[in-house]
Structure 1
Amino acid sequence: MNPPEIHQAGVRDVEFGARVRIVDPCNLYGCKIGDDCFVGPFTEIQKDVMIGARTRVQSHAFICELVTIGEDCFVGHGVMFVNDTFSTGGPARGNKDLWRETVIGDRVSIGSNATILPVRITDDVVIGAGSVVTRDITSPGTYAGNPARRLLADR
Protein backbone atom coordinates (compact mmCIF):
# COMPACT_ATOMS: atom_id res chain seq x y z
CA MET A 1 0.00 0.00 0.00
CA ASN A 2 1.41 3.39 -1.04
CA PRO A 3 0.97 6.37 1.28
CA PRO A 4 -0.85 9.39 -0.23
CA GLU A 5 0.96 12.54 -1.31
CA ILE A 6 -0.05 15.14 1.27
CA HIS A 7 -0.06 18.88 0.58
CA GLN A 8 -0.42 21.15 3.58
CA ALA A 9 -2.77 24.14 3.41
CA GLY A 10 -1.06 27.36 4.25
CA VAL A 11 0.04 30.80 3.15
CA ARG A 12 3.01 30.88 0.80
CA ASP A 13 4.45 33.14 -1.89
CA VAL A 14 1.78 35.79 -1.30
CA GLU A 15 2.35 39.49 -1.92
CA PHE A 16 0.44 41.32 0.83
CA GLY A 17 -0.41 45.00 1.00
CA ALA A 18 -0.49 46.87 4.30
CA ARG A 19 -2.86 45.95 7.14
CA VAL A 20 -4.19 42.73 5.58
CA ARG A 21 -6.05 40.41 7.97
CA ILE A 22 -6.49 36.69 7.34
CA VAL A 23 -8.18 34.10 9.54
CA ASP A 24 -6.69 30.60 9.62
CA PRO A 25 -7.05 28.10 8.20
CA CYS A 26 -6.60 29.47 4.68
CA ASN A 27 -4.88 28.22 1.57
CA LEU A 28 -3.32 31.22 -0.18
CA TYR A 29 -0.51 30.84 -2.67
CA GLY A 30 1.13 32.89 -5.39
CA CYS A 31 -1.49 35.66 -5.23
CA LYS A 32 -1.52 39.41 -4.58
CA ILE A 33 -3.75 40.89 -1.90
CA GLY A 34 -4.06 44.68 -1.65
CA ASP A 35 -4.02 47.05 1.31
CA ASP A 36 -6.63 46.73 4.08
CA CYS A 37 -8.12 43.45 2.78
CA PHE A 38 -9.75 40.75 4.86
CA VAL A 39 -9.72 37.01 4.07
CA GLY A 40 -11.94 34.70 6.11
CA PRO A 41 -11.24 31.11 7.18
CA PHE A 42 -11.50 28.04 4.96
CA THR A 43 -10.74 30.17 1.91
CA GLU A 44 -8.57 29.21 -1.06
CA ILE A 45 -7.00 31.86 -3.26
CA GLN A 46 -4.84 30.41 -6.02
CA LYS A 47 -1.77 31.68 -7.84
CA ASP A 48 -1.85 34.78 -10.00
CA VAL A 49 -5.13 36.00 -8.44
CA MET A 50 -5.11 39.73 -7.75
CA ILE A 51 -7.38 41.24 -5.10
CA GLY A 52 -7.72 45.01 -4.87
CA ALA A 53 -7.48 47.21 -1.79
CA ARG A 54 -10.18 47.12 0.89
CA THR A 55 -11.82 43.98 -0.50
CA ARG A 56 -13.35 41.46 1.92
CA VAL A 57 -13.39 37.75 1.11
CA GLN A 58 -15.61 35.81 3.50
CA SER A 59 -15.23 32.22 4.67
CA HIS A 60 -15.35 29.16 2.42
CA ALA A 61 -14.73 31.16 -0.78
CA PHE A 62 -12.77 29.64 -3.66
CA ILE A 63 -10.95 32.01 -6.00
CA CYS A 64 -9.17 30.13 -8.77
CA GLU A 65 -6.37 31.15 -11.10
CA LEU A 66 -7.11 33.85 -13.72
CA VAL A 67 -9.34 35.91 -11.41
CA THR A 68 -8.85 39.63 -10.77
CA ILE A 69 -11.04 41.38 -8.20
CA GLY A 70 -11.14 45.18 -7.96
CA GLU A 71 -11.07 47.53 -4.98
CA ASP A 72 -13.75 47.90 -2.30
CA CYS A 73 -15.43 44.60 -3.19
CA PHE A 74 -17.23 42.05 -1.06
CA VAL A 75 -17.08 38.31 -1.76
CA GLY A 76 -19.65 36.49 0.36
CA HIS A 77 -19.44 33.17 2.16
CA GLY A 78 -19.06 30.16 -0.12
CA VAL A 79 -18.63 32.10 -3.38
CA MET A 80 -17.06 29.93 -6.08
CA PHE A 81 -15.13 31.22 -9.09
CA VAL A 82 -14.72 28.91 -12.09
CA ASN A 83 -12.07 29.16 -14.82
CA ASP A 84 -12.87 25.96 -16.75
CA THR A 85 -15.91 26.26 -19.05
CA PHE A 86 -15.84 22.57 -20.06
CA SER A 87 -15.56 23.84 -23.65
CA THR A 88 -14.55 20.39 -24.90
CA GLY A 89 -17.52 18.70 -23.25
CA GLY A 90 -15.60 17.79 -20.11
CA PRO A 91 -13.03 19.17 -17.70
CA ALA A 92 -9.81 20.70 -19.05
CA ARG A 93 -7.81 18.13 -17.04
CA GLY A 94 -5.03 20.60 -16.35
CA ASN A 95 -4.87 22.05 -19.88
CA LYS A 96 -4.65 25.71 -18.91
CA ASP A 97 -5.09 26.77 -22.55
CA LEU A 98 -8.77 25.91 -22.08
CA TRP A 99 -9.18 28.09 -18.97
CA ARG A 100 -10.70 31.59 -19.18
CA GLU A 101 -10.22 34.68 -17.01
CA THR A 102 -12.65 36.54 -14.76
CA VAL A 103 -12.35 40.27 -14.10
CA ILE A 104 -14.41 41.89 -11.36
CA GLY A 105 -14.62 45.70 -11.27
CA ASP A 106 -14.56 48.01 -8.26
CA ARG A 107 -17.32 48.19 -5.63
CA VAL A 108 -18.82 44.83 -6.60
CA SER A 109 -20.66 42.83 -3.93
CA ILE A 110 -21.16 39.11 -4.50
CA GLY A 111 -23.71 37.38 -2.25
CA SER A 112 -23.11 34.11 -0.45
CA ASN A 113 -22.97 30.89 -2.46
CA ALA A 114 -22.88 32.65 -5.83
CA THR A 115 -21.00 30.98 -8.67
CA ILE A 116 -19.04 33.18 -11.05
CA LEU A 117 -18.08 31.67 -14.39
CA PRO A 118 -15.35 33.28 -16.56
CA VAL A 119 -16.90 36.73 -17.10
CA ARG A 120 -16.26 40.44 -16.80
CA ILE A 121 -18.31 42.39 -14.27
CA THR A 122 -18.27 46.19 -14.43
CA ASP A 123 -18.04 48.52 -11.42
CA ASP A 124 -20.92 49.06 -8.97
CA VAL A 125 -22.70 45.71 -9.30
CA VAL A 126 -24.50 43.60 -6.69
CA ILE A 127 -24.81 39.86 -7.31
CA GLY A 128 -27.57 38.20 -5.29
CA ALA A 129 -26.91 35.25 -3.01
CA GLY A 130 -26.97 31.90 -4.81
CA SER A 131 -26.81 33.49 -8.26
CA VAL A 132 -24.91 31.97 -11.17
CA VAL A 133 -23.20 34.55 -13.38
CA THR A 134 -22.79 33.07 -16.86
CA ARG A 135 -22.34 36.22 -18.97
CA ASP A 136 -20.50 39.53 -18.82
CA ILE A 137 -22.22 42.26 -16.83
CA THR A 138 -21.63 45.62 -18.49
CA SER A 139 -24.14 47.88 -16.66
CA PRO A 140 -24.16 48.74 -12.95
CA GLY A 141 -27.11 47.34 -11.02
CA THR A 142 -28.38 44.37 -9.07
CA TYR A 143 -28.37 40.91 -10.66
CA ALA A 144 -29.79 37.66 -9.32
CA GLY A 145 -30.92 34.21 -10.35
CA ASN A 146 -29.65 31.29 -12.42
CA PRO A 147 -28.55 32.56 -14.82
CA ALA A 148 -28.15 35.96 -13.16
CA ARG A 149 -30.29 38.69 -14.72
CA ARG A 150 -30.64 42.36 -13.92
CA LEU A 151 -33.41 43.18 -11.45
CA LEU A 152 -35.60 46.15 -12.24
CA ALA A 153 -35.32 49.03 -9.81
CA ASP A 154 -38.24 49.68 -7.46
CA ARG A 155 -40.28 52.72 -8.46
Structure 2
Amino acid sequence: MVMVIITTVMRAISKMRIRNKIANLINKIYEYIFCYDFFKNPNVKSYGRYVLKNSLNITIKGKVHINDYVYINGLGGVVLGDNVIISAGAKIISTGLLVNKYGFLNEHDNKKIKIGNNVQIGAGAIVLSGVRICSNTIIGAASVVSKDINEPGVYVGAPVRKIRGFIHEE
Protein backbone atom coordinates (compact mmCIF):
# COMPACT_ATOMS: atom_id res chain seq x y z
CA MET A 1 0.00 0.00 0.00
CA VAL A 2 2.83 2.38 0.84
CA MET A 3 4.49 1.65 -2.51
CA VAL A 4 1.20 2.33 -4.38
CA ILE A 5 0.94 5.74 -2.74
CA ILE A 6 4.60 6.49 -3.45
CA THR A 7 4.23 5.49 -7.10
CA THR A 8 1.08 7.58 -7.52
CA VAL A 9 2.71 10.64 -5.99
CA MET A 10 5.82 10.27 -8.17
CA ARG A 11 3.77 10.02 -11.38
CA ALA A 12 1.73 13.11 -10.49
CA ILE A 13 4.80 15.31 -10.16
CA SER A 14 6.24 16.56 -13.41
CA LYS A 15 9.19 18.77 -12.48
CA MET A 16 12.48 17.00 -11.87
CA ARG A 17 13.67 19.09 -8.90
CA ILE A 18 10.45 18.58 -6.99
CA ARG A 19 10.45 14.88 -7.87
CA ASN A 20 13.97 14.43 -6.47
CA LYS A 21 13.16 16.29 -3.25
CA ILE A 22 10.01 14.26 -2.68
CA ALA A 23 11.79 10.99 -3.55
CA ASN A 24 14.48 11.77 -0.95
CA LEU A 25 11.81 12.61 1.63
CA ILE A 26 9.88 9.40 0.91
CA ASN A 27 13.09 7.34 1.20
CA LYS A 28 13.84 8.92 4.59
CA ILE A 29 10.31 8.20 5.81
CA TYR A 30 10.51 4.62 4.49
CA GLU A 31 13.87 4.03 6.26
CA TYR A 32 12.49 5.54 9.47
CA ILE A 33 9.40 3.29 9.42
CA PHE A 34 11.41 0.11 8.93
CA CYS A 35 14.29 1.13 11.23
CA TYR A 36 11.90 1.95 14.07
CA ASP A 37 12.05 -1.55 15.57
CA PHE A 38 15.85 -1.48 15.36
CA PHE A 39 16.06 1.85 17.19
CA LYS A 40 13.62 0.67 19.88
CA ASN A 41 15.49 -2.61 20.44
CA PRO A 42 16.65 -2.62 24.09
CA ASN A 43 19.70 -4.72 23.13
CA VAL A 44 21.08 -1.94 20.92
CA LYS A 45 23.07 0.76 22.70
CA SER A 46 24.07 3.64 20.44
CA TYR A 47 26.61 6.32 21.22
CA GLY A 48 25.90 8.77 18.42
CA ARG A 49 24.61 8.80 14.86
CA TYR A 50 24.86 5.79 12.61
CA VAL A 51 23.48 4.76 9.22
CA LEU A 52 21.53 1.59 8.50
CA LYS A 53 20.67 0.59 4.95
CA ASN A 54 18.26 -2.29 4.30
CA SER A 55 17.71 -2.68 8.03
CA LEU A 56 15.15 -5.46 7.55
CA ASN A 57 18.06 -7.78 6.71
CA ILE A 58 19.99 -6.99 9.90
CA THR A 59 19.56 -9.56 12.69
CA ILE A 60 20.66 -8.96 16.27
CA LYS A 61 21.12 -11.98 18.53
CA GLY A 62 22.20 -10.16 21.69
CA LYS A 63 23.59 -6.89 23.02
CA VAL A 64 25.22 -4.62 20.46
CA HIS A 65 27.06 -1.33 21.03
CA ILE A 66 27.20 1.03 18.05
CA ASN A 67 29.40 4.14 18.13
CA ASP A 68 29.35 7.34 16.11
CA TYR A 69 29.41 7.29 12.28
CA VAL A 70 29.01 3.54 11.88
CA TYR A 71 27.59 2.41 8.51
CA ILE A 72 25.82 -0.95 8.15
CA ASN A 73 24.46 -2.05 4.77
CA GLY A 74 22.24 -5.09 5.26
CA LEU A 75 21.34 -5.74 1.61
CA GLY A 76 22.91 -9.22 1.59
CA GLY A 77 22.10 -9.83 5.25
CA VAL A 78 24.00 -9.10 8.46
CA VAL A 79 23.86 -11.21 11.64
CA LEU A 80 25.32 -9.67 14.80
CA GLY A 81 25.96 -11.98 17.77
CA ASP A 82 25.86 -11.17 21.48
CA ASN A 83 28.18 -8.52 22.98
CA VAL A 84 29.32 -7.02 19.68
CA ILE A 85 31.02 -3.61 19.84
CA ILE A 86 31.27 -1.58 16.65
CA SER A 87 33.63 1.39 17.06
CA ALA A 88 33.37 4.82 15.46
CA GLY A 89 33.52 4.98 11.68
CA ALA A 90 33.41 1.22 11.10
CA LYS A 91 31.62 -0.09 8.01
CA ILE A 92 29.84 -3.40 7.55
CA ILE A 93 28.97 -3.81 3.86
CA SER A 94 27.11 -6.93 2.71
CA THR A 95 27.12 -6.06 -0.98
CA GLY A 96 29.80 -5.59 -3.64
CA LEU A 97 30.33 -5.54 -7.39
CA LEU A 98 30.94 -8.69 -9.41
CA VAL A 99 34.15 -8.78 -11.40
CA ASN A 100 35.17 -10.95 -14.34
CA LYS A 101 38.46 -11.11 -16.24
CA TYR A 102 37.43 -8.12 -18.39
CA GLY A 103 36.44 -5.86 -15.50
CA PHE A 104 33.28 -5.06 -13.63
CA LEU A 105 29.98 -6.67 -14.63
CA ASN A 106 27.97 -3.79 -13.17
CA GLU A 107 26.00 -6.29 -11.08
CA HIS A 108 25.84 -6.48 -7.31
CA ASP A 109 26.90 -9.54 -5.34
CA ASN A 110 24.99 -9.69 -2.05
CA LYS A 111 26.37 -12.08 0.56
CA LYS A 112 25.51 -12.48 4.24
CA ILE A 113 27.93 -11.31 6.92
CA LYS A 114 27.96 -13.27 10.20
CA ILE A 115 29.62 -11.79 13.26
CA GLY A 116 29.95 -14.05 16.32
CA ASN A 117 29.71 -13.29 20.05
CA ASN A 118 32.19 -11.10 21.95
CA VAL A 119 33.53 -9.37 18.85
CA GLN A 120 34.98 -5.88 18.80
CA ILE A 121 35.35 -4.06 15.49
CA GLY A 122 37.86 -1.20 15.71
CA ALA A 123 37.45 2.39 14.56
CA GLY A 124 37.37 2.77 10.80
CA ALA A 125 37.49 -0.97 10.12
CA ILE A 126 35.68 -2.36 7.07
CA VAL A 127 33.94 -5.75 6.95
CA LEU A 128 33.16 -6.83 3.38
CA SER A 129 30.40 -9.08 2.03
CA GLY A 130 30.32 -12.83 2.63
CA VAL A 131 32.62 -12.70 5.66
CA ARG A 132 32.21 -14.74 8.85
CA ILE A 133 33.93 -13.55 12.02
CA CYS A 134 34.14 -16.15 14.79
CA SER A 135 33.43 -15.40 18.44
CA ASN A 136 36.03 -13.83 20.77
CA THR A 137 37.73 -11.76 18.09
CA ILE A 138 39.10 -8.23 17.97
CA ILE A 139 39.44 -6.41 14.65
CA GLY A 140 41.97 -3.56 14.83
CA ALA A 141 41.35 0.01 13.77
CA ALA A 142 41.38 0.72 10.00
CA SER A 143 41.55 -3.00 9.17
CA VAL A 144 39.85 -4.56 6.14
CA VAL A 145 38.16 -7.95 6.66
CA SER A 146 37.79 -9.52 3.22
CA LYS A 147 37.86 -13.21 4.14
CA ASP A 148 36.58 -15.43 6.95
CA ILE A 149 38.13 -15.33 10.41
CA ASN A 150 37.86 -18.82 11.90
CA GLU A 151 40.11 -18.59 14.99
CA PRO A 152 39.71 -16.24 17.97
CA GLY A 153 42.39 -13.59 18.33
CA VAL A 154 43.46 -10.08 17.41
CA TYR A 155 43.48 -9.22 13.71
CA VAL A 156 44.87 -6.07 12.06
CA GLY A 157 45.83 -4.73 8.63
CA ALA A 158 44.49 -4.61 5.12
CA PRO A 159 43.76 -7.44 4.50
CA VAL A 160 43.58 -8.60 8.11
CA ARG A 161 46.12 -10.99 9.55
CA LYS A 162 46.28 -12.54 12.98
CA ILE A 163 48.83 -10.95 15.30
CA ARG A 164 47.84 -12.58 18.57
CA GLY A 165 45.77 -15.43 19.96
CA PHE A 166 44.02 -15.64 23.31
CA ILE A 167 44.92 -17.85 26.25
CA HIS A 168 41.79 -19.47 27.63
CA GLU A 169 41.61 -20.05 31.37
CA GLU A 170 39.77 -23.12 32.56
TM-score by length of structure 2 reads 0.70
RMSD over aligned CA atoms reads 2.3
1:91, CA displacement in angstroms? 4.8
Q: 5 Å matches for 1:1-150?
A: 2-3=16-17, 4=20, 5-7=23-25, 8=28, 11-13=32-34, 14-16=36-38, 33=41, 35-45=42-52, 46-65=55-74, 66-88=77-99, 89=104, 91-92=106-107, 95=108, 98-118=109-129, 119-150=131-162
The 8 Å contact of residues 52 and 72 in structure 1, kept in 2 or not, is answered as: no
* Matched letter for residue 138 of structure 1: N
- 1:29 maps to which residue? none
Cα drift, residue 90 of structure 1: 5.2
5+ unaligned residues in a row in structure 2: which ranges?
Answer: 1-14
Letter in 2 for 1:81: I
Runs of 4+ in 1 over 4 A off after TM superposition: none
Secondary structure of the 2:164 match is: coil
Please, what TM-score do these two structures have when normalized by structure 1?
A: 0.76
Query: 2:96 is paired with a residue of what secondary structure?
Result: coil
CA displacement 1:26-46 (0-9 Å, x = unmatched):
xxxxxxx4x432123331222
The structure where strand makes up a greater share of residues is 2
Aligned length: 135
More helix by share: 2
Matching residue's letter, 1:60: Y
Q: Read off the aligned partner of 2:51 and give its amino acid letter.
A: E
Say which one has the larger Rg. Answer: 2
Q: Distance in 1 between matches of 2:92 and 2:46?
A: 15
Q: Percent of aligned pairs with the same residue?
A: 22
How far the C-alpha of 1:55 sits from its partner, in A, is 1.0
Give the drift of 1:54. Answer: 1.8
Structure 1: which 5+ runs fail to align? 22-32
